[in-house]
Structure 1
Amino acid sequence: MRRSLAEAGWAEDNIDWVWPLIAGHHGLFPTLGHAEEPPRAQGRLSGRGLGWDAARRALIDVFTRALGFEGIAEVEPVGSPSRAVQLQLSGFVVMADWIASDQHHFEGVDEFERVSLQGARDRAGEAWQRLGLRGGWGQLDEPAVSVFEQRFGDDPRPSQSMVVDVVSRMKAPGLVVVEAPMGEGKTKAALVAAEFLAARWGMDGVFVGMPTQATCDPMFTNVRSWVETISPSLASQVALLHGKRMFNKQWQGLLGDDETAADDRYTGIAEDEFGLDDPYGVSGGSCCPEAAAERRAPAEWFLGAKRGLLSPFVVGTIDQLLFAATRTKHVMLRMAGLAGKVVVLDEVHAADVYMSQFLAEGLRWLGQARVPVVLLSATLPAAQRRELVAAYLAGAGHHEDSDASESTAIPEPTGYPNVTAVWRTETSVGRLVENCDSWRGDLQVEVEVLPEPINAAALPDDGMSTGDAQVLSLLRNQLAEGGCALVIRNTVLRAQDTFEALHGVFGDDVRLLHGRLNASDRADRTEECLRALGPPQSDGPGRPARRILVATQLAEQSFDVDADLLVTDLAPIDLLLQRIGRTHRHVGVRRPRPVVEPRVVITGFRPEDDAPPEFPAAAEAIYGRYLLLRTAALVCAAAGERWSIPGQVPQLVADVYGRERYSVPASWAEAERQARTDWETRQRARAESAEPFLLARAGEHTRRTLEGLHRGGMSEGLSEERHQAVVRDGDRSVEVVLVRRDDRAYRALSGRSLGTQGEASRDVLEDVLGGTVRLPAKLTEAAEVDLGPLGGWRDHPWLRYSRALPLDASGAARLGEHTLRYDPSLGLVVTGPR
């Protein structure tokens, strides 16, 4: 192609950007030398014999004329699009290649006289109909002023009206950052803002990215309802995209008989270049247009590996966007799915310094592609906001040096809630920064510190730790007349210990929720918690008279529960405020007298009179000593007083994250200085450790073409587990499927028989996968060495990639030097050498 285009008179600049789109159709963009003669070609890349080159030239000529052009010179571009648009185009090339490579739709033509462009178009049209592929809402009319009431049945709150007003005044697609309190209604504001942005700039769908899989499920329901109010037929085009979606009952119901569809977590393309083995992909298309039209979920083709973002409307984890910012194979499919949509990302403050590198990289590409982005947060540090704004504007400006000067020119918000909008036109950078009052007054939250001895021995009588004994005594007193309490622990082990201590006294009034429950139990318990402690429902079961929920960080964000009292381990201030957002959250809840006023009890550390406090080693490993020290200083100073929430939120976050805003006690100063030095060193190292995986290398954002984009990148097909290891810093962990084994056969954790080889028929598949649980990171190496699929799973589209962990008759298993057991109440319990 390069030689043919040059001989046709194409300018070298146009050849340079076009050829990588062709050469990259297998998922990787090579360098020019590699494209011309890969080592494995052994001199035979161009075929054998003198006629081969002539045949290729004739093919190009005949095809070009069949399209109605005199020759290939006539179709030379007038310029080059941005690299983001090139990446999007490349994604559509791959999509077309995969569809056309499917023998079920294109059986081949063995009679030369039947070969024609019209015949090819007819076959393509039939395949497209059978697959049932479709877009989103097409050209959307700009919503009316009353759109909030139409969509959600309520008038907008002041902050929601502010967001819509700002996006309606933007002069070009851009970035919108919404900072508002927990429970303010940011998500509804973002969805309506997405309508305005889509109508004004021609976007055909929406991607909503959530921080966790658990938060995706309720958002999926909300987005489907919202889309349905716009156009009832489009509700079937909303996809749920995360590794546990098969356990979402609404998603299962929409798929109907197709619930055994392949999932990104289980299906790779590495050994199957065109995805032809995907039983729910190309070859699994509906047999006729009528069947496709009746689907209540997006087309089957969209549900295959690496294709989910191509669905018109998508709710998934933020990882889906972060994956699109990695130098991995077929990344162009992910970018093609994002381009042309409005992107909404919730809880962006949850991205740590490592994840933020991928988020910033993604925003660069989205800015260059002119994709409108809406970021939501309740507790966003000012420095993080500036970095996100700078990344988007740098992408929109096509050059590196725009970020520093332009980001500092954006005014800082002066109130809360607030919205910051930025965009770039051909001649300038536009900006709007607005703030307003919250829809309800501040809560006066009493702050109490409950010092906990660190590394203290268990009490001799019952083995209960001193910390758990203190929490038990507090709750006995505060819940004497009833009420609902939320206890958040920083580790699974602490949550399990606290649950056992409280369950011994409060019995079935106590619930436990953490990340080492199996998939089925976790889904059921999450649903139960949201039903019991969620927004009041006129037709619901009502709020329990007394309930204690012990949870880990799962309850920290996008978890719509309302507790009368919060007991929490110390965490950095932004996360601590997120936890406080789970208290006295809903209006109209009747609360017993002792807990009628909002109160947070902060424990999990021990303040000292004349020395820095002690923190558990696990807490320091998770959050770092520096932020814990500064938060502890703020908390201890406020003990016995009240915080005005949410009005005081920006100030509290700035006090901890802005070094100049707040100082620790003099006796802590040296410890804080050393902790900050260590923290800064680690932050730099973590940011640098992300660089090898970013889609574009440092200094290469100004390149014009995609040539060599994948040089030195990860070319293998990655499972979702390995993708998460790339975009989320920390020790890699794996999931296993728990099964029971006796002398005769295997059983699912639920008790259903699986036969002697673990055969999983369709009717027991949900039971089998319901036993999926994530192991602690310390067991990853042992699990990868010792565990694999059962014999009966090796040909199953999902289970062949799963690792089984058989439990003996006592419900236990050995893995390395550790003993594992699954307790119906506690979840996965791990014991072993310290």
Structure 2
Amino acid sequence: MMMTAVPDFLQFWGKARRKTLAPGDEPGAEQGEDEIGWHPLAYHSLDVAAVAQGLLPLFPNLVRRLAGAGDSQAAGRFIVALALLHDIGKFARGFQFKVPALFPATLRRPGQDAPPGDHTFTGLWMLNKGPLAPLLKALAPGIDEHAMPVILHAVGGHHGRPVDVGGLEFVHADHIGRAALTAAEAFAREALPLAGAFMLEGELDDVEASALSWQLAGFINLADWIGSDQHHFTFIPPIHSLAAYWQDFAVPRARQALAAAGLGRKRLNEATGFHALTGLDFPPAAMQALMETIELPERGEACFTMIEDITGGGKTESALILAHRLMLAGAADGIYVALPTMATANAMYQRLGAVYRRLFHRLEQPSLALSHGAAHLHEGFGGSVLPMEAAAPAYEDDDAAEAVCAQWIASDRRRAFFADAGAGTVDQAFLAVLPAKFAALRQLGLSRKMLIIDEVHSYDAYEGVELARLVEFQAANGGSVIALSATLPEVIRTRLVTAWRLGCGMRGKLAPSPASPLPHYPLCSMVTASGAARTSDVAARADLCRSVAVRRLEDPAAAYAAIAKAAEQGAAVAWVRNTVDDALEACRSLQAMGLAAEVFHARFAMADRQAREARAMALFGRGSTPEQRRGRVLVAMQVIEQSLDLDFDLLVSDIAPIDMLIQRAGRLWRHARPTRPLQQRQMLVVSPLPVEEAGPQWLSGSLPGTSYVYANHALIWKSARVLFKTGEIRSPEGVRHLVEQVYSEGALDDSPKGLEGRRRVAEGESQADTSLGRFNVLDRKKGYGASSSLWHAEVRIPTRLGPERTIFRLARWTGETLEPWAGNLAPDQTRQDVERLWALSEVSLASGRANARGAYPPEIEQAALHMESTWADWERAVLLPVLPAKDQPEARLLLKTPKGQEIEARYDCETGLTFPQTGLPATP
């Protein structure tokens, strides 16, 4: 239905293109859909409200919490009403004047008294104190005077962070414009009935509102994102009544946009269990079998589950079996697996790609997303992205099933939390509990997921605070958590269970007294949202029970001899070193001895690192043959202890904390093979003897790199003492005892006095990191809006602490221009192709070692400066051209240290970035 007269409120623009109407053009002039340069604010508001209406079924916890004991239908409609009013501040004169050509004729031109055009700021005033405040109060009389501002802050902060309300009390009607306020009120009164808004009778106080505000902010943010997508919500001239636009445009377009975004709830596969999810024909491990039958909470009730099982025991499959059953019970719609590193996330993405569809009905097309800083570089993920226009065909059999992801979800790390299944670094989840932009959006996505957190033992003091707060928020938002570990200290289990209980509104800890015997291992512990708790122990599968003999090696020289002997016998050997420099030195020495040694570390360009990872999987993975493995040696960093499914005949390791050593031992005889070239399953550990009179140089004297990486030498001494005294890692029965001997309260009190100084410094730093973590993480109880002071646009809160790092982009000099190390540029390449090549050419380096480009010839320096000027802020990096090296296969790189010292480095695809001996400390 077209109108004969345009109401005043339809003169106000809400969206405009960069090249919009020229001065003098009439905003209300009829134009074709393709030519219209602006979209009325009233129409955009209806678009977002229609999207919100379509999203409501996906977030029942949000509706239920707002309704309390009242009417859920009314609560849902009130949320839609809030979405309708999210941009009400755009009626203000200050905002409308941002595009002078579209300035409504009904308003007088703004003068000096007009506030800035921040519509979220003025919108809060209009909803809190302006003419719309009585209207909202009439809609929700049960929301008290302290709770309503909290709710409205969540609505106003729909651009990813809370509104800075400083000076809000000084705003008055003349600033915004009397005519603007009249138009806004007229719009609201006509539009609210279309959204079905009617009285919300439930009561809500400020405490409940604060808890609700996080999810609500994320919900409005999500609705606004989708409702602003011009692909689906093309600009329409103001020629339709609100009722006609709502029925003919907003609602059907919202339905299309949600379908294209891949946000609909998917039907689930009713068949559950190990065989249904994996398709494998051998029996499940004991923990996996337990997950098939373990008693679940009441239908729809969230829970926290801790699965502790041996390395190689199939914890991921156990988690998926349980997650699937909980999804069928209404506790979640999908899964997100959070992992410690990009490498572990990539490996998990590959594993999920083979099984995630089995969680869902065979005729559904669920999405699988990868979420970390370099997800766009993963070829498998990039190839799975469906174009926005593509219809997602249902799959008929497993052979035809490939990983797919909706383009809308795949385009943004924050949106990946809305995929039906996802894998990513835990850092992306940590950003949900830090004052980072779109934190509430991440929380919202996680709230409808089974959040599976792997390797929960592996986080330091700062990350441990983030992890506990993440569990607390997930519990408060009605989501569930499954935590996985093979080497979990009791103190971490207690911390996470306590965080869960806090999020659920409970008090007190569920932990045994210090005198209690150690819990069984393997173990499953579950705590429901209502507080019910139970534990279930299992017996590990017989073929997974094993003993790894441990023998100490005095120094690296002894390791060289042992590795050479094993390689001569045809063994596949790994040596896990604690620093890149130590790994490079070991690889060079082994190669000089005539051994087939390769190195895998973090100081490769991304393209070469991916190639090294693929080669390691080919040579030492499950499908490797005896011929491929025979006599080969991989010298690697800690990355192989968690991320890659590798199998070695002999494992050598530098001394490390006991839990890491147990993880590394899990790569020994990992896969079933008909024969082994060695007769004994053995791990050799390079370590000084843990004597009672160990002095300050006990560790640094023989392993200076390790002493730099692990600052608490008392912890390393205790790990060595316990491990060598025991002489083996017996799994499963001996694992918990080993861990608790090192990590239980007071475990380090018997460490040598000579290491006491190092211990005190390390523990002091750990306490400082914990304090910083507590300062940085969001306070759930304060609510979304009350945290606005923490959101500083110029400050980036880190997800992890550690030395600052500099990103270098390697480039080849052609004689005329600079090309990415990862490949040549071509005229027909898209911008995305070019960005990807440069990103694949990146290598990260501790800034303390080098943070700038050295002195290159003028023509190369000029080309580098020009190239850097074309990169966006988020691509910020230092271009590092490679130069031929005389009589050397490597390329030369010229760098500068923070003190301005010129240094030369070398790079090649086999060893990565290497340095001459500079006397600088070793870097991990």
Aligned to 1:437: 539
Is 1:493 the counterpart of 2:581 in the alignment? yes
- Once the two structures are TM-superposed, the CA of residue 240 in structure 1 deviates from its matched residue by 1.1
> What amino acid maps onto 2:641 in structure 1?
E
Alignment correspondent of 1:51: 179
Partner of residue 99, structure 2: none
In structure 1, the partner of 2:384 is 254
- Where 1:778 maps in the other structure, the secondary structure is coil
Change (3 A) 1:423 1:321: same
Three-state SS of the structure 2 residue aligned to 1:342 is strand
Q: Which residue of 1 aligns with 2:892?
A: 812
Residue of 164, 187, 190 corresponding to 2:319: 190
Q: Among residues 339, 350, 367, which one is paired with 1:221 in the alignment?
A: 350
Q: Does 1:554 align with 2:639?
A: yes
| Match runs of 1:359-508 below 5 Å | 359-397=467-505, 402=507, 404-407=508-511, 414-425=519-530, 429-440=531-542, 442-452=545-555, 467=556, 469-507=557-595
Q: Map 1:598-613; keep pairs closer than 5 Å.
A: 598-605=681-688, 607=690, 610-612=693-695, 613=698
Q: Determine the structure 2 residue equivalent to 1:2.
A: 128
Aligned residue number for residue 279 of structure 1: none
Q: State yes or no: 1:93 paired with 2:220.
A: yes
CA contact under 8 A between 1:413 and 1:433: conserved in structure 2? no
Q: Provide the rounded CA distance (Å) in 1 between the counterparts of 2:297 and 2:818.
A: 62
Which of the numbers 766, 769, 778 marks the counterpart of 1:695? 778
1:236 positional shift: 5.1
The question of 1:712 aligning with 2:712 is answered: no
Report SS of the residue matched to 2:354: helix
Looking at structure 1, the residues matched to 656 and 298 of structure 2 have their Cα atoms a distance apart, in angstroms, of: 37
1:299-318, Cα deviation, whole Å (9 max, x unpaired):
22222333221222111011
Residue 347 (1) aligns with residue 455 (2)? yes
Q: How many residues align?
A: 752
Aligned mates of 1:255, 1:778 — CA distance in 2: 39
Counterpart Cα distance in 1 of 2:660 and 2:513: 29
Distance in 1, Cα, partners of 2:290 & 2:376: 38
CA apart distance, 1:526: 1.2
Contact 1:532–1:541 under 8 Å retained in 2: no
- Residue 365 of structure 1: SS of its match in structure 2? helix
CA contact (8 A) 2:365 2:393 kept: no
Moved more, 150-159 or 512-521: 150-159
CA apart distance, 1:748: 2.9
Aligned to 1:655: 741
Supply the AA of the counterpart residue of 1:743: G
For 1:783 and 1:90, the matched residues in 2 are separated by 43
With normalisation by structure 2, the TM-score equals 0.75
Distance 1:447 1:156 in 2: 29
Deviation at 1:695, TM superposition (A): 1.4
State the partner residue of 1:319.
427
1:129 equivalent in alignment to 2:256 = yes
- Identical amino acids, percent of aligned pairs: 24
- CA displacement 1:15-49 (0-9 Å, x = unmatched): 13321122111222236555555xxxxx5786454
The residue aligned with 1:297 is 404
Q: Is it true that 1:682 corresponds to 2:765 in the alignment? A: yes
Q: 1:773 to 1:732 in 2, by over 3 A?
A: same
Counterpart for residue 328 of structure 2: 199
Report 1 or 2 for greater relative contact order, CA contacts < 8 Å, sequence distance ≥ 6: 1
Pair 1:774-2:857 in alignment: no
Match of 1:29?
162
Q: Aligned match of 2:597 in 493, 498, 510?
A: 510
Contact map agreement 1:209 1:321 (CA 8 A) in 2: yes
Over 3 Å counting, the alpha-carbon distance change for 1:181 and 1:143 in structure 2 is same
Q: Structure 2 counterpart of 1:198, which letter?
A: M
Is residue 2:170 matched to residue 1:16? no
- Partners of 1:252 and 1:350 in 2: CA distance: 29
What amino acid does structure 1 have at the position aligned with 2:660?
Answer: L
Amino acid of the residue matched to residue 134 of structure 1? G
1:217 shift after superposition: 1.9
Q: Is the 8 A contact 2:811 2:880 kept in 1?
A: yes
- For 1:681, the aligned partner's letter is G
Check conservation: 1:484, 1:548, Cα contact below 8 A: yes
User: Structure 1 CA distance, aligned partners of 2:394 and 2:257?
Assistant: 10
Residue 735 of structure 1, aligned match among 807, 823, 827? 807
Q: How much has 1:741 moved relative to structure 2?
A: 1.6
- For the residue of structure 1 that corresponds to 2:676, the secondary structure is coil
**5+ residue gaps in structure 1?**
38-42, 257-284, 453-466
Equivalent position amino acid for 2:552 in 1? V
Q: CA deviation at 1:129?
A: 2.4
Q: What's the CA shift for 1:222?
A: 1.9
Contact in 1 for aligned 2:699/2:707 (Cα 8 Å): no
CA deviations 1:391-438 (Å, max 9, x no partner) are 1111111x6xx1x4445589876321111111232xxx2111121211
**Is the contact made by 1:760 and 1:792 (CA closer than 8 Å) also made in structure 2?**
no
Residues 417 and 486 of structure 1, relative CA distance in 2, 3 Å threshold: same
Query: Which amino acid letter does the alignment assign opposite residue 815 of structure 2?
Result: D
Match of 1:571, SS? coil
User: Letter of the aligned partner of 2:576 in structure 1?
Assistant: I
Structure number with greater Rg is 2
Q: Provide the rounded CA distance (Å) in 2 between the counterparts of 1:93 and 1:785.
A: 51
Name the SS of the counterpart of 1:106 in structure 2.
coil
Cα distance per residue 1:503-531 (max 9 Å; x no partner):
12234x22211011111121122122223
CA contact (8 A) 2:368 2:422 kept: yes
- 2:450 alignment partner, SS class: strand
Looking at structure 1, the residues matched to 211 and 906 of structure 2 have their Cα atoms a distance apart, in angstroms, of 49
After superposition, what is the alpha-carbon deviation per residue over 1:265-324, rounded to whole angstroms, capped at 9, x for unaligned?
xxxxxxxxxxxxxxxxxxxx73x4648999963222222333221222111011111111
Distance in 1 of aligned mates of 2:633 and 2:204? 64
Q: CA deviation at 1:87?
A: 1.6
1:154 and 1:200 map into 2 onto residues whose CA distance is: 27
Contact 2:642 2:663 in 1 (8 A): yes
Q: Counterpart of 2:786 in 1: which secondary structure? A: coil
Distance 1:791 1:241, change over 3 A: same
Deviation at 1:224, TM superposition (A): 2.3
SS in 1 for 2:214: helix
Contact 1:182 1:581 in 2 (8 A): yes
Secondary structure of 1:438's aligned partner? coil
Mapped partners of 1:794, 1:206: distance in 2: 40
Deviates more, 1:144-153 or 1:60-69: 144-153
Counterpart in 2 of 1:154?
Answer: 282
Letter in 1 for 2:539: D
The 1:82–1:192 alpha-carbon spacing in structure 2 relative to 1, beyond 3 Å, is: farther
For 1:217-296, list aligned pairs within 5 A.
217-230=346-359, 231-232=361-362, 234=364, 237-255=367-385, 286=388, 288=389, 290=391
Deviation at 1:13, TM superposition (A): 4.3
337 and 543 in structure 1: CA distance in 2 versus 1, 3 angstrom threshold: same
**Structure 1 position 620 matched with structure 2 position 707:** yes
TM-superposed CA distance for 1:763, in Å, is 6.2
Give the deviation of 1:128 after TM superposition.
Answer: 5.1
Partners of 1:708 and 1:82 in 2: how far apart? 12
TM-score calculated relative to the size of structure 1: 0.82
Shift of 1:597: 0.8
> Is contact 1:23-1:35 (8 Å) kept?
no
- Provide the C-alpha distance between the structure 2 equivalents of 1:776 and 1:50, rounded to a whole number of angstroms: 57
